[in-house]
Amino acid sequence: MSTTATLAAAAATASTPRTSVPAFRARKRQEPLVMLTAYTARMAELLDPHCDALLVGDSLAQTIYGLPSTVPVTLDMMIAHGAAVVRGSRRALIVVDMPFGSYEESPEQAFRSAARVMKETGAGAVKLEGGQSMAPTVAYLSARGIPVMGHVGLTPQAVNILGGYGARGRGEAEYARIAADAAAVADAGAFSLVIEGVVEPLAASITDAVACPTIGIGASARCDGQVLVVDDMLGMFDRTARFVKRYDDLAGRIQQAAQGYATEVKARTFPDSAHLYGVPGGA
């Protein structure tokens, strides 16, 4: 049986039910929600026991494809990785990012794109960026059976307008606008709200004001949960944002392992007898 089939079979027979959108939403002001990004079946399998939700983020642009921003990501890319993460997981709610250009034109366009994501991946929800301007789309999708996680504050898909990835909400006008964005998306029916890269008092204020759980990333410990890009958390990149805490140096350990392998290959000490097949009829 292939690895993919093994993962799919394990997921299908798992005794623990997958976290539902209503169960996730009900965690407001309870034990903090844990979310990490995942892009592959194997990573999803490893993270799943520890996470309430796995986000198939369009951050795969940088982490998987080496792209300079999330803007070039396509819907097909998100669907391929979303399906892989669903296959590799058992209990976490799977949320798939809607990529730039797949939902902004109209609520109808957003529905067509989101319906593809839900049908072709098996995910439980989609996530889209934007505030007051996207509230009608959030309401349109929610009314048609597509759960939506919102995303306000620093919205990476709008980097060309924002002019960079700096923290948002430092000025009074922007502070008020982001607070209004959060309220609009929550009132439109978002079951949860990612707050990214904002000043701490703003994130705390939004968390107190909205009825749905907030998920912080560079926001506040008072948010109802937290999310990080898994590659950043594992130390796969030399440079990360200020809000990232590295829980490992996986890049360093991979380099050490590759160096050890290369040394043994050059010395002809790998493979040795333990890694070779014997001659038929021999010992």
58 annotated among ligand-binding-site residues: yes
266 annotated among ligand-binding-site residues: no
Bridge partners, 193 (sequence order)? 150, 214
DSSP letter for each residue of the chain: --HHHHHHHHHHT-SSPPPPHHHHHTTTTSSPEEEEE--SHHHHHHHGGG-SEEEE-TTHHHHTT--SSSTT--HHHHHHHHHHHHHH-SSSEEEEEPPTTSSSS-HHHHHHHHHHHHHHH--SEEE--BSGGGHHHHHHHHHTT--EEEEEES-GGGHHHHTSS--B--SHHHHHHHHHHHHHHHHTT-SEEEEESB-HHHHHHHHHH-SSPEEEESS-TTSSEEEE-HHHHTT-SS---TT---S--HHHHHHHHHHHHHHHHHTT-SS-GGGSPPPTT--
97 annotated among ligand-binding-site residues: yes
Query: So which residues are the catalytic ones?
Result: 196
Which of 182-217 are b and which e, b meaning 16 or more Cβ less than 10 Å from the residue's Cβ?
bbbbbebbbbbbbbbbbbbebbbbbbeebebbbbbb
200 annotated among ligand-binding-site residues: no
Residue 115 has which token pair?
């319906």
Feature table: binding site for 3-methyl-2-oxobutanoate: 58-59, 97, 127
Feature table: binding site: 58-59, 97, 127, 129
Feature table: binding site for Mg(2+): 58, 97, 129
